[in-house]
Every structure is written in C-alpha cells, then in structure tokens.
Structure 1
Amino acid sequence: MAPMLERFASPGKGNGLRATTAIKSGKLLFSTDPLASCVSTKVAKDVCHRCFARHETLLRCSQCKMARYCNITCQKQAWSDHKRECKCLQSILPRIPTDSVRLAARIIFALMNPAKSRTEELYSLNEHESHLSSMPEQKKQGLSQLASMLEIYLQQEVPELALEMTSALPQSCGQPLDLIAKVTCNCFTISDGELQEIGVGLYPSLSLLNHDCRPNCVMVFEGTKLHLRAVRDIKPTEELTISYIETLSLTEERQKQLEDQYHFTCRCQKCDSQDTDTIMESGEQATWQKLMEALPKLEELQAASEWQTLRESCARLLSAEGSDVPDENLYKLRLTDMALDAAVHLGHWEEATTHGERTLPIYRRYYPDPHPVHGVQLMRVAKLQHYLERIQDALNTFKQAFEILKITHGIDHPLVADLLVKMEECRFEMDQ
C-alpha cells in the first residue's frame, strides 16, 4: 500500500483508510488487481473474460460454451484461472450460476493457488464482515440458496474441493454461506470507461474504504485493475471515502439501499442535510408521480433493448406530464436519460443530442465535485454534437469533459486518450 494511505479505526464505522499526507485533487492514490473477478452474466457474450474488453466477435470456449476471449492469446492467459471453472460450468449446463456464486468459486480457486497469495494486503478476507448476525432472515435464506448452489457448482466435477475449502480458506469463511455473505457485502462492480457494468471483483484492501454520499475519492477501472483517485483536496489524517452506490437519488432511497445491501445507516453530511431532496422532487407531486410510476416499466423495456417502444413511451410522457415538470426533477431526469439511450440505439442523432444537452445543467448541479458520471455524460453529448457537425459546440463540451475526466480517470486512461483524440479532430476540422 502506498505510504500516503494507512489503515485506522474509523469512529463509528470500524475499519477505514485515511491520508497520511496532504493529497491534491486528481492524485492517483492506489492501483490494484483483484484477488478474483468474473465477467457479469448479462454481458458474458460481449466482453472478454480475460481482459474485460468489449468486442463484437469473441472466441468461445469450446468446452463450457460460456467463456469468451478476444483472441488465442487472451484464451491461453486465462486458462490457469479458467480451467477449474470450466469443469464446474460444464457440470451444470445449461444452467449458469449467478455472478456472486461464480466470483466466490474463483476466490476459492485463487486462495488454493500459492502463486496468488497477497501478503501485502492491508485487509484480509478473514477480516471482511459477513453481517450474517444482523441480517434479516429472508435475506439470509436467499444467501443460503446461493451457498447451496456454490456447493453443487464446486462438487460435481471437482469433488475434492469440498474438502479443500476448509484448508484453503480463512477460518471465518470456510463455510459456503460465510463466503457468499462476505462476497455480496464486499465485492465491487467492475465497469468500463463509460461506467457500464461488465463484471464483479474482490479487492480486499479497498474494502476498507467507507461510504459517503459525497465522497472525496472515486474508483475507476481499467480492465480489471482498480484505480483510486482523489476528487477533492484531502488533509492529513482525513478519512478517504467512496460512494458504494449511485448517489443521484433521494436520501430515503440511498439510505434504504445502503441498509439493505451493506447493513448500515448512512449519517454523512449529505444525508443529514437532505440538501438536494427538495430540488429532486420539484414540481407538482401529482404530476411527477406519474413519471415515477412509469419508470419500472420503462426500465424493463431498456433492459430488454426494446428501443422503439421505449422511445415512444418516453416521448409520450415527456410531452404530456413531463412538460409541466421542471428538468431538475429526478424522475424527469431519469426519463430523459432513457429517451437519450433509446434515440442513440435507434440512430435518431438530433433527438438524442437534444435530450443529452437538456441533462447537462442538471448533472452539473447534482455532481458539484469532479465526478465520472458527469464527465462521461459530457463526453457522450460531445460525440453526438460532433457527429452532427456542430464542431465548436462539440469542442467546448469535450473540453468540459476533459476537465473532469483528467481528475477522475487520469490523463493516461484509455477513455481520456480517446477524448484527447476527439478534441484534436474538432480542432483540425475547424481549421479546415
């Protein structure tokens, strides 16, 4: 661990990480590979299971039929991690275990391999909290089902694993239920440069980071490598925090999600002040409530890639109830983002640009610090403006995106490299 960070006892929170020196905004604090990771099932056909890069065509493992790779090189490099998993996947075809079960199995495989030992970790798997003692019985039953699935997944093709678990795993997670509980409470969602979910991974030392709804650090991924960066100036001994969840939601929603998933009540300044709740619910409740009630169905259409139906539904709502709701309203913003997504997938570029530009002032308001979500939204809109040959607008928007992403992602991140290329293209086209 870099000397600028240290583990400490955080009052009221348990373990934490704090700064040992003054840290400037944009500083890379720590980079690490996961103890174990796996591609999410929902993108398993589109993402390389070795390097986590997206490709339209991928090589498929001829045995398990699930794992996919960029090329032979990635496939060979992945084999040492995939060979046990491959047998397990074959044993339960055509079923595919959940992401948490597959990740738990990969953790076991990693800990059984002496080459994977990570003595430099500040936080061991043994110290991770499972929260089983404080967990509602209904959730514990759900985890018990996953633990049973893990046992079936491991035992059918490699039965000796059932015995090896006890010796390979730390004492506190030698039972499948303990391990599954620790995985669900401590794993991180791995995202691509544009913040789309592509996998899950366990990064033991960074599980020390505590939550804040307005954190002073962000995590950004490059493949499976996790980069922790400061997004505000941090004083010596100040605790380093990240957000465990998407913070663009009401205080009550954020707190419920944190309690359900991570088993604590957030008492950060943003939650105590509820400073954005009034703005997020601006407008007449009777009107915006119709937008709120429509969102679950629209999310189903989005998940199913029913883009034309989604576009028509969003257009109808935005022109009817939505016309009387301020743009700052949280539910209208979510609806506008869905309309943008649908328009992009259908190639309606002017419509997509209009929706995107409408969201930018709202994103700026709700993400006052440099935030990757705001930066990625700016970059997305800039690409649309560029496609429509609105070169000056595109360059200005790219510049705004760069000011954020150079802090959240770092100047060397592939997404920022792509952004710089786009800015040069705009300058060249303006000169022509």
Structure 2
Amino acid sequence: MTKGGMESVELFTSEGKGRGLKAQKEFLPGDVIFAEPAYAAVVFDRTSTWATTTPWGATDLGRCGWKAAIQRGTWGCWLAVADQEPAVPRGAREPMASWLGLEREGSGLAEGCLVSIDDLQNHVESFSEEEKKELRVDVESFLEFWPPQSQQFGIQFISHIFGVISCNGFTLSDQRGLQAVGVGIFPNLCQANHDCWPNCTVIFNNGNHEAVRSMFHTQMRIELRALSKISAGEELSVSYVDFLSLSEERRRQLRKQYYFDCTCEHCQKRIKDDLMLAVKAGESKPSAEAVKEVVQLSKDTLEKINKARMEGLYHEVVKLCRECLKKQEAVLGDTNIYLLRILSIASEVLSYLQMFEEAADYAKRMVDGYLKLYHPNNAQLGMAVMRAGVTHWHAGLIEAGHGLICKAYAILLITHGPSHPITKDLEVMRVQTEMELRMFQQNEFMYYKMREAALKNQKIHVMPEPSNETSPSLFHKKE
C-alpha cells in the first residue's frame, strides 16, 4: 500500500464547510494518505484514574494530583502525574496534556503541522447555557490544581483549549476498537470534514499486540486511509458518526455534538432511510399502526436489554431478544435498523453463552442487512463480518465461517491495513479455516470427528463478556 505524508494533502477552504483537506495526488482504496502522531494525549480508565507514560514506563497512576512530567514524542508530549492529593477532576484532566504541549512548545505552528492548536475551532460561542456552565466549572477546577507559576495564559485561552478538545478530540480506543481509553489531539486530522458516506477512514495503528496502556511507550499514531479511489484535488472526508442511523438522527447528533448541519448527499436525499425503515415485503403488507407498535416495542425492549446487560443478566437479555424478534419478524424488513440492533445483541450474547448455532443464525441475518446499508469498505462492517465468521466457526459451520472471514479480511485490509493487529489475527484465522475447509471437503465425516476430538481435548473457551457500551465514537465529545 502507498505510504503517504503531509505533502500528499493540502489545507484549503471547503465551500460551505470552512477549512478542509484536499488530496494532492491520486489514492487507491487502502492507501495511507498520511499518518500523524498525537500533539497531546491522555488515557483514563473507568474509575476516573489516569494512565500514561513516564520515562521509566507505563503506569496506572490512580487518583493523583497535578504535578506533571513530560515525555515528548516527535513534536507532541505525554502527560504523567505524581502520586499526590488532591485528585484532579475528570473535566480538567484532558486539557492538561495539551496545556503541557503549549507551555513546552508554544502555541505556534509545530513542525509537520498544517494548523496551530490555537487556530482550531472551539465552538464555545455555540455552547448551550448548560454547556457554558460546565465549561466554567472545568476552567475553575483546572486553575485550582494548576501551579500558579505556570498560569501564563488567560481564562479566555484556557476556555479555548477546553472547547478545542471537546470539538476536535479523537477518542483513543483499544486495539480492538471496543473500549474508549482516552483522548488525543491530532491537529492535521482535525481539518478533515465530515461526510456520512466518506472517502476516507481513520484508524489507530501501532502494529503490535501490547496492552493499550503500553501504546504510550511509543508515539501514538493515527492513520488516514482511503476507502475508495480519490482523485488529485478531491476533498478528503471522514465520518464523525456511525452511518447506521436515520439521516435526521445523524444530523441531530452532529448538530448537538459538533455544531453544524450536515449537508452531505446522503442526508439531503435521505439515501437508505427507506431501507432502515423497511417493513415486511409481500402481499399482506403490515399496517402503519402495526409498524408503529413494533417500533415502539423495539425501543422499549432495547431499554430493558441495556438494564439487564448492566446487571449481567444475559439469559434475560436472550429472552427479551427472542420475544422481540418474534414480533419484529412479522412486521419489519430485513434491513430495518431496529431489527438489526436486536439481531446484533442476540448474536453477541448467545456467543458469550456458548449457544453458537442460534448465534450464527442471527449473526448471518445481521450481516446480510449491514451489507445493504454500510459503505462496502466500512470498518464497522468489517468487524461485524469478522465476528459473524468466528461465530460460524464455533458453530461448526466451516463453509459459511470461512466465507465470512475472507470477506472481513478483504474489508479490513483496506480499513485497517495489513500491519494492524486485528488484520494479522484475521489472516491467521483465514489460513486456519481454509485448511479446515479443505479437510471438510475431502471427508466431511472425518472432519467432524477430528473437530470433536480436538474440542474435547481443549479447555472450554469463554467468549469475551458482552460490553455494556457501544463501540466508542471516533470523535470525542465530553459528556
């Protein structure tokens, strides 16, 4: 794949969108347009503790104070803090990483950067009264725990930094893309405008299997990769939100979180909304009242499922999914988003409970729907197809499993690249299932006998516990 650089892109004024990025040469699907190290980043965990890198190693630092040490990357910095009280509030933690970068390097244009940190949009003027109140609290907390001798900037500029991180921060996720672990600022990538059907995707790629905390031993790197053929002079776009929502819902989310009205073609023309709201086809089309009733049932069931998952009641989740699916299947079409959401949860939880055959059936139906909705080179589609392939393999459905794994591998080669840990794992899986498929085709009876014997000699493999959270959004928004 082509390795890009900042010389491959140009900062320009995008009509109706402000600044944007434009390709300086042609790119093909899977090409790395450019890779960028973090200007500043901070990692946190679920208990509001900090975790980061110091010159002596990666550390979980607990609820610690403001005293900081810096480990610099190419032109950024990492935040480390010493064990002392009082604790730093969560609201003040993220700007400190950027703050250290500003104090150490200044707020001017850094090497390899198209725009300075103080030129990034903060949208503070667009904040609601409640958001402005929260901002004032965060600024006060920040000043309370920041050394007086280091307070060389005014409150207005501090507010700007908070706004910049709220509107431009990227969510740092684990290598599997399943858990949000922190926030990073990537000034060049911040210039890429949104499109619900983008020509680029963003991926974190450190090319190793180390634990997420140890990502900070090395420079955190984010890649902008082409999803389709891009011509020289074409604007580069990424999606700030998941496509699998109605256009009006996506626009509402973008307006609330990023303060702009999406004018992309898919939103303006409501492309694929009809598929996402599809009802059962056939001579006896369900009535509008029946559809409304099932949609409301689906929303109510999703709330109950979330509560049951939070309490770890997975058998109750399965019961709720089965009951809801029974009602949905008579009314909703195969691409209806409410049906797909229930299918996704059911397949995930059933896999965890080792009920693979039923899980595989739901996973296949989910993937069939996704393939009609998502961009063919969508990263989330690739991950969903991969999970479905693994589920089929566990169910002993080797032909379907191998086919899904190959399809996922083709997608992730473009979205993640061959060096990403997920892609490497998937390649191993693809080779293994290909070998098993050949054995199956030669002697189906012997294949199942050997598989049965192999599984008996292995410890029971427990699937990862279903997450109580959705996959983290790529773009960070302080809640």
Q: How does 1:15-414 map to 2 (within 5 A)?
A: 15-42=19-46, 49-50=52-53, 61=60, 64=62, 81-83=78-80, 85-87=81-83, 90-93=84-87, 97-98=89-90, 101-114=92-105, 118-152=110-144, 154-155=145-146, 158-161=147-150, 163-164=151-152, 166=153, 175-198=157-180, 199-223=182-206, 224-283=220-279, 284-303=291-310, 305-414=312-421
- Give the CA deviation at 1:374: 0.7
Relative to 1, partners in 2 of residues 1:244 and 1:40: Cα closer, same or farther, differing over 3 Å? farther
The residue aligned with 1:421 is 428
For residues 186-212 of structure 1, the C-alpha deviation after alignment (integer angstroms, 9 at most, x for no partner) is 001123343323232111111000000
Where 1:39 maps in the other structure, the secondary structure is strand
For residues 249-291 of structure 1, the C-alpha deviation after alignment (integer angstroms, 9 at most, x for no partner) is 0111101111111110000000011011122122322222220
- Give the CA deviation at 1:363: 0.9
Amino acid at match of 2:184: G
Q: Runs of 5+ in structure 2 lacking a partner?
A: 66-70, 207-219, 280-290, 440-479
State the alpha-carbon separation in 1 of the partners of residues 427 and 93 from structure 2: 37
Where 1:296 maps in the other structure, the secondary structure is helix
State the alpha-carbon separation in 2 of the partners of residues 414 and 43 from structure 1: 27
Amino acid at match of 2:369: I
The answer on whether the counterparts of 2:9 and 2:23 sit within 8 Å (CA) in structure 1 is yes
Where 2:6 maps in the other structure, the secondary structure is coil
Amino acid at match of 1:145: V
The answer on whether the counterparts of 1:194 and 1:376 sit within 8 Å (CA) in structure 2 is no
The residue aligned with 1:71 is none
Relative to 1, partners in 2 of residues 1:133 and 1:298: Cα closer, same or farther, differing over 3 Å? same
Structure 1 window deviating more from structure 2 (173-182 vs 406-415): it is 173-182
Q: Runs of 5+ in structure 1 lacking a partner?
A: 52-57, 68-75
- Give the CA deviation at 1:422: 0.6
Of 7, 10, 14, the residue aligned with 1:10 is 14
Where 1:204 maps in the other structure, the secondary structure is coil
- Give the CA deviation at 1:174: 5.7
The answer on whether the counterparts of 1:327 and 1:362 sit within 8 Å (CA) in structure 2 is yes
The residue aligned with 2:471 is none
State the alpha-carbon separation in 2 of the partners of residues 257 and 101 from structure 1: 25
The two structures have a TM-score, normalised by structure 1, of 0.83
The answer on whether the counterparts of 1:311 and 1:339 sit within 8 Å (CA) in structure 2 is yes
State the alpha-carbon separation in 2 of the partners of residues 306 and 200 from structure 1: 31
Amino acid at match of 2:149: E
State the alpha-carbon separation in 2 of the partners of residues 326 and 297 from structure 1: 23
Amino acid at match of 1:242: V
State the alpha-carbon separation in 1 of the partners of residues 159 and 238 from structure 2: 27
State the alpha-carbon separation in 1 of the partners of residues 432 and 276 from structure 2: 37
Amino acid at match of 1:200: V
State the alpha-carbon separation in 1 of the partners of residues 176 and 424 from structure 2: 13
The answer on whether the counterparts of 2:386 and 2:404 sit within 8 Å (CA) in structure 1 is yes
The two structures have a TM-score, normalised by structure 2, of 0.76
State the alpha-carbon separation in 2 of the partners of residues 40 and 277 from structure 1: 37
State the alpha-carbon separation in 2 of the partners of residues 298 and 44 from structure 1: 26
State the alpha-carbon separation in 2 of the partners of residues 208 and 249 from structure 1: 24
- Give the CA deviation at 1:400: 0.5
State the alpha-carbon separation in 2 of the partners of residues 371 and 112 from structure 1: 39
The answer on whether the counterparts of 1:60 and 1:66 sit within 8 Å (CA) in structure 2 is no
CA RMSD of aligned residues (A): 3.0
The answer on whether the counterparts of 2:386 and 2:408 sit within 8 Å (CA) in structure 1 is yes
The answer on whether the counterparts of 2:52 and 2:78 sit within 8 Å (CA) in structure 1 is no
Larger Rg belongs to: 2
Alignment size in residue pairs: 399
- Give the CA deviation at 1:373: 0.6
For residues 358-401 of structure 1, the C-alpha deviation after alignment (integer angstroms, 9 at most, x for no partner) is 10111111113311011111111111222233222221111101
State the alpha-carbon separation in 2 of the partners of residues 269 and 377 from structure 1: 25
Identity %: 26
- Give the CA deviation at 1:410: 1.0
- Give the CA deviation at 1:311: 2.5
Relative to 1, partners in 2 of residues 1:275 and 1:18: Cα closer, same or farther, differing over 3 Å? same
State the alpha-carbon separation in 2 of the partners of residues 131 and 394 from structure 1: 47
Relative to 1, partners in 2 of residues 1:59 and 1:351: Cα closer, same or farther, differing over 3 Å? farther
Relative to 1, partners in 2 of residues 1:344 and 1:23: Cα closer, same or farther, differing over 3 Å? same
Relative to 1, partners in 2 of residues 1:334 and 1:49: Cα closer, same or farther, differing over 3 Å? farther
The residue aligned with 2:451 is none
Amino acid at match of 2:140: S
Amino acid at match of 1:181: G
